[in-house]
Structure 1
């Protein structure tokens, strides 16, 4: 990995779930420590698996990694920090304000933005205070703040009393309110991130169009904020060893095409390419081999994987969904797991069973909806919720109301708050609520949905509104009925979409916990892009099949009552023919 030839003191790794960010951070830390340098590896991920990757039980203080002299690692706990600060902010109001108001405050402080600020608070103590890590030559962070968080922290008003009067309905300003004493350390942290002589931001991605789009967005945001010393790792690049294995040849072709078509902002970055690890990246010896040009790929083929009681394919799940005849189907999951494709495949299959179906997508490229609309499938209508337009409309509304009497600094803070991911989620709510209301007499399939946090945020806001006005009749009917509809298992069915890998499965498990907190029980899990059902002979792919088995078993045994397994597709699953392939694909092992 080229950035290790002349490494800066601080290395920040960023990337969406499942791209191998933690593996790349661990590999870099191990390889630097092997040179005799003292290295501190830090994770602020609330579901960190540093312990598993390094084979060492870690704590919230630097812990020596026994098998690697000079390497120390630690897991910071942003959830604990967020919980402690949340109670500090809300506690004084218990028994003073109505219970509904306190519940609304608690939910404001329960979202991902709160956790992100808490995580920033934790690692700022290490990055902003040089003395705290003076005994180390390098500090490696396996996470990095988003552009939104950094912009918030650079606004002076973020530390003012204006926060106490925030009425925007979003949940990103709240986390800053209790952290005013840290302003100097935060300032030093932001400056250190922008100092290319001491900090490198490493963007980790996969050779997939969606992963490249996310990396491009992150790179552009951070460059605008002065974080310009960036390096990109394209992780998991597959090269076929077996020309007769059609799956292997197709996988290499799809990766090559994605790399050739990557966004221009990424093409200009210095780049390292890391081959697909056939056996996963667990343990120190595996980490030492990451990025090495002489890394050996397996040459002998394992026996075909054995998956007892193989899950059904997507078609069987759709048969069960179709029996009700109407309602809402939500495909939920983290970015890059294929929820848009799964939603479109479900919609097409229901329509081809003679049912009336409306598919509503937030796919920015609208590829799926465009190809379906062009083919004019009887019984299926396709619409698009435009997040950008919904957010623009919502932002204008808030600025005209909550922002009309603010001074310049207050308005700048409000505008930044409205650029947060939370704002888009809430803005889409209105279109989402309208779409859900249409499920009374037909199927409505949506490729996105509000998180459990946003649902509870709406719930607490409605409760507070009723407490203050005692006039629930002012609520739009679609919004008033949204929560009961989402919580009704006979009306709404949630499909949790994931991949058969550690990070996507564990992120989906947290999503499920969030939904259950909002009293929504998922109907089924869809494990997408699995190699297990495919007949492969390439040694690396056969090894990957075996690596998937424990995550498929984890979903089936502990996380889901119903599971559908969707095989990886040689051709991108677009258009009616591609979506039909997904539904018809056999999930049984064919190896």
Structure 2
């Protein structure tokens, strides 16, 4: 099965690009499901048809689904919610905010993403196109499976044994507070195991790739660079960048001339920041992108003769690793000639100059607060060493 995940800042037209991709894949005869995990669904509007929480056929070889996060929460977390509700009732916490505490931040989105695992294991589809929530929410969830897996392996076995020992006397010594039953603990474990399975699927570079959708604008580009760095940090294979709503060259004359000039500036910056990733362009369409015919037209303009189901790029353009007390950042440089190297660090942003090449990298948390010790070019990669944080040296 092939899985293509679309992400990007809210409002960039991510849903339209994802839907267009799905329409083109279905046209090729592939059984294609497009899945929206965004709480603010707009997929039904894009496809111009009614969708529900289960897959609905919308065309030949094409199905659509808008995941109901509340239903998925009940399925995956209902038993735990029931226990937490009783716990809060005992503690006399009954105001409206306690309802929000029954599900931890970000977990509803994770429950929605678990649909990826279920559809992959079902074998009903050839391709799964995922229209994710806006970048910020999506990236926040990427570390959850790692944390939960660590808890499951290191803490959970001992916690279960302790609860088993304490449960007979808990109501006596703890004011009647009910400890979680085995069913509740089993539910927690199933959820964590499911997340682990899902992570294996979406980190498989032969199966899954992420595509970033952006507009040629300053704030959108900054968000896209940040998400690209974090996707690399978490090990996701990003195989393309789609620049959406590009004005035609005819717009250089008249009312939109200034906008076209601004877009051209950022188009150049997009190339310098994301190469060697393929950079595809989606033009500003002359009418609303609603319905299968115009989505098919949009897909043809974006992909041309390229097969949207293929993995458009393999390999990590950024890697981060720890070496002793130092951290090392490696960047793929799309040329081999060595040239003068200049690095400038400002807050959480690193500007890299190599000859005429310029790239801005938004530093993830492991590198923030560290100073650059040195850099070198080797095998078309720029290797940058970062020292200890100031607080760690004291």
TM-score (norm 1): 0.42
- List alignment gaps of at least 5 residues for structure 1: 1-7, 165-175, 296-362, 366-387, 394-591
Q: Is the 8 A contact 2:6 2:210 kept in 1?
A: yes
Aligned counterpart in structure 2 of residue 290 of structure 1, from 295, 298, 314: 298
Aligned counterpart in structure 2 of residue 142 of structure 1, from 121, 131, 134: 131
Map 1:232-251 onto structure 2 (within 5 A): 232-241=241-250, 243-245=252-254, 247-251=255-259
1:210 matched to 2:186? The reply is no
Aligned counterpart in structure 2 of residue 92 of structure 1, from 83, 86, 92: 86
Please state how far the C-alpha of 1:266 moved relative to its aligned partner: 2.0
Q: In 1, Cα distance between the equivalents of 2:23 and 2:40?
A: 21
Aligned to 2:143: 151
CA deviation profile, 1:249-299 (whole Å, cap 9, x unmatched) = 11110111112223854233211111112312111111011143499xxxx
Map 1:41-440 onto structure 2 (within 5 A): 41-65=34-58, 68-82=59-73, 85=77, 87-99=81-93, 105-109=98-102, 113-126=106-119, 130-132=120-122, 134-143=123-132, 146-155=138-147, 156-159=149-152, 160=155, 179-241=188-250, 243-245=252-254, 247-262=255-270, 264-293=272-301
SS at match of 2:90: coil
SS at match of 1:269: coil
SS at match of 2:240: strand
In the superposition, relative to structure 1, how do residues 293 and 45 fare at CA in structure 2: closer, same or farther (>3 Å)?
A: closer
Q: Is the 8 A contact 2:34 2:128 kept in 1?
A: yes
Q: In 2, Cα distance between the equivalents of 1:243 and 1:223?
A: 36
Aligned counterpart in structure 2 of residue 15 of structure 1, from 8, 11, 16: 8
Aligned to 2:175: none
Please state how far the C-alpha of 1:110 moved relative to its aligned partner: 6.0
In the superposition, relative to structure 1, how do residues 69 and 221 fare at CA in structure 2: closer, same or farther (>3 Å)?
A: same
Q: Is the 8 A contact 2:216 2:267 kept in 1?
A: yes
CA deviation profile, 1:407-432 (whole Å, cap 9, x unmatched) = xxxxxxxxxxxxxxxxxxxxxxxxxx
Q: Is the 8 A contact 1:125 1:185 kept in 2?
A: no
Aligned length in residues:
276
CA deviation profile, 1:126-163 (whole Å, cap 9, x unmatched) = 3xxx332x121111111167343222212323445599
Q: Is the 8 A contact 2:282 2:302 kept in 1?
A: no
Aligned to 1:172: none
Q: In 2, Cα distance between the equivalents of 1:292 and 1:285?
A: 11
Question: Whose strand proportion is higher, 1 or 2?
Answer: 2
TM-score (norm 2): 0.62
Please state how far the C-alpha of 1:186 moved relative to its aligned partner: 2.1
In the superposition, relative to structure 1, how do residues 104 and 256 fare at CA in structure 2: closer, same or farther (>3 Å)?
A: same
Q: In 2, Cα distance between the equivalents of 1:271 and 1:163?
A: 49
Q: Is the 8 A contact 1:163 1:177 kept in 2?
A: no
SS at match of 1:74: strand
Q: Is the 8 A contact 1:11 1:201 kept in 2?
A: yes
Q: In 2, Cα distance between the equivalents of 1:229 and 1:244?
A: 36
Which one is further off, 29-38 or 71-80? 71-80
Aligned to 1:173: none
In the superposition, relative to structure 1, how do residues 153 and 242 fare at CA in structure 2: closer, same or farther (>3 Å)?
A: closer
SS at match of 1:241: helix
Aligned to 1:35: 28
Q: In 2, Cα distance between the equivalents of 1:294 and 1:214?
A: 22
Q: Is the 8 A contact 1:237 1:255 kept in 2?
A: yes
Please state how far the C-alpha of 1:178 moved relative to its aligned partner: 6.1
- List alignment gaps of at least 5 residues for structure 2: 161-184, 304-346, 350-363, 370-394
CA deviation profile, 1:167-196 (whole Å, cap 9, x unmatched) = xxxxxxxxx996421333322221221222
Q: In 2, Cα distance between the equivalents of 1:230 and 1:89?
A: 43
In the superposition, relative to structure 1, how do residues 122 and 192 fare at CA in structure 2: closer, same or farther (>3 Å)?
A: closer
Q: In 1, Cα distance between the equivalents of 2:53 and 2:302?
A: 36
Q: In 2, Cα distance between the equivalents of 1:50 and 1:294?
A: 19
In the superposition, relative to structure 1, how do residues 266 and 95 fare at CA in structure 2: closer, same or farther (>3 Å)?
A: same
